[in-house]
Amino acid sequence: MQSYDLAEGSLRALNQALHDLKGLTNMTDWEVLNPRGAHAIAAGLDAPVTVHVRGSTGYYCAGMNKQATVHIHGSAGPGVAENMMSGTVIVEGDASQYAGATGRGGLLVIKGNASSRCGISMKGIDIVVHGNIGHMSAFMAQSGNLVVLGDAGEALGDSLYEARIFVRGSVKSLGADCIEKEMRPEHLALLEELLRRGLADHKARPEEFRRYGSARRLYNFSIDNASSY
């Protein structure tokens, strides 16, 4: 395993070394020591490598991730896995605001709680949160899946498109055009797979969740809905 200590080296040098892995490499296992809340750790990766970050991180850790697995052994600041394309990001602790924002693919696992706007404008990413999520989560979410084993805050799924939301606990309120939907067999099968991939299959069963999605009333302008726009 390649080890890099941010108490001794610069963040710029670390990220450059990780970016240089694009293409063929046998340096596939890395660990980052003493992150001490630094921003943009392991951002922009594009190689099938595994990076263990031994501590908590600042803004945009693992942002724009492609192919890589980034495992944060601590909590993550705002924008973890923002705009990720593929790969896996695991947060052992809590995540701050807009975790997984605009994500287009891959899997984000948060073993603690997520703050407000989790999954905002998600475009294909799968997000599994073992704890609770804050207000305005999945705002304008377009596609992908958000799974929450705990509770959800206010305005869940506001202005939702075709993303699917599964919540095991309570929902404080639903946002504009977000409604509860029937949980059909295909959704139970999908959720079972998401719980397995999200390392939560031992904590919950698909039958314990409710599904939320778009009522599709805001797709086209209607004068009757003017107050909702």
In a domain, 97, yes or no: yes
The closest of 89, 98, 105, 28 to 53, measured between CA atoms, is: 89
In a domain, 21, yes or no: yes
In a domain, 177, yes or no: yes
Q: What pLDDT does residue 221 have?
A: 66
The closest of 47, 79, 52 to 65, measured between CA atoms, is: 47
Q: What pLDDT does residue 228 have?
A: 62
Q: What pLDDT does residue 226 have?
A: 67
DSSP for 81-106?
TTT--SSEEEESS-B-TTTTTT--SS
SS3 for 123-145 is: EEEEEEECCCECCCCCCCCCEEE
In a domain, 223, yes or no: no
pLDDT range class, residue 26, cuts 50, 70, 90 = confident
In a domain, 226, yes or no: no
Q: What pLDDT does residue 24 have?
A: 63
Report, as an integer, the average pLDDT of 204-217: 96
The enclosing domain of 146 has a CATH number of: 2.160.20.60
Whose structure tokens read 């992908």? 144
Are the C-beta atoms of residues 53 and 69 closer than 8 Å to each other?
no
Domain that holds residue 101: 2-217
What are 85-132's pLDDT values in tens digits? 999 999 999 999 999 999 999 999 999 999 999 999 999 999 999 999
In a domain, 120, yes or no: yes
Q: What pLDDT does residue 69 have?
A: 98
In a domain, 222, yes or no: no
Q: Determine the Cα–Cα distance for residues 196 and 39; give it in Å rounded to an integer.
A: 30
What are 171-196's pLDDT values in tens digits? 999 999 999 999 999 999 999 999 99
What are 126-172's pLDDT values in tens digits? 999 999 999 999 999 999 999 999 999 999 999 999 999 999 999 99
**Triad 80, 84, 89: Cα angle to 5°:** 55
- Structurally, how many domains does the chain consist of? 1
pTM over 0.85: yes
pLDDT of 222 above 90: no
Query: Distances from the Cα of 35 to the Cαs of 2, 31, 55, 151, 219, in angstroms?
Result: 15, 10, 6, 30, 44
Q: Determine the Cα–Cα distance for residues 171 and 66; give it in Å rounded to an integer.
A: 32
pLDDT of 229 above 90: no
In a domain, 193, yes or no: yes
Q: What pLDDT does residue 218 have?
A: 79
Q: Determine the Cα–Cα distance for residues 80 and 65; give it in Å rounded to an integer.
A: 10
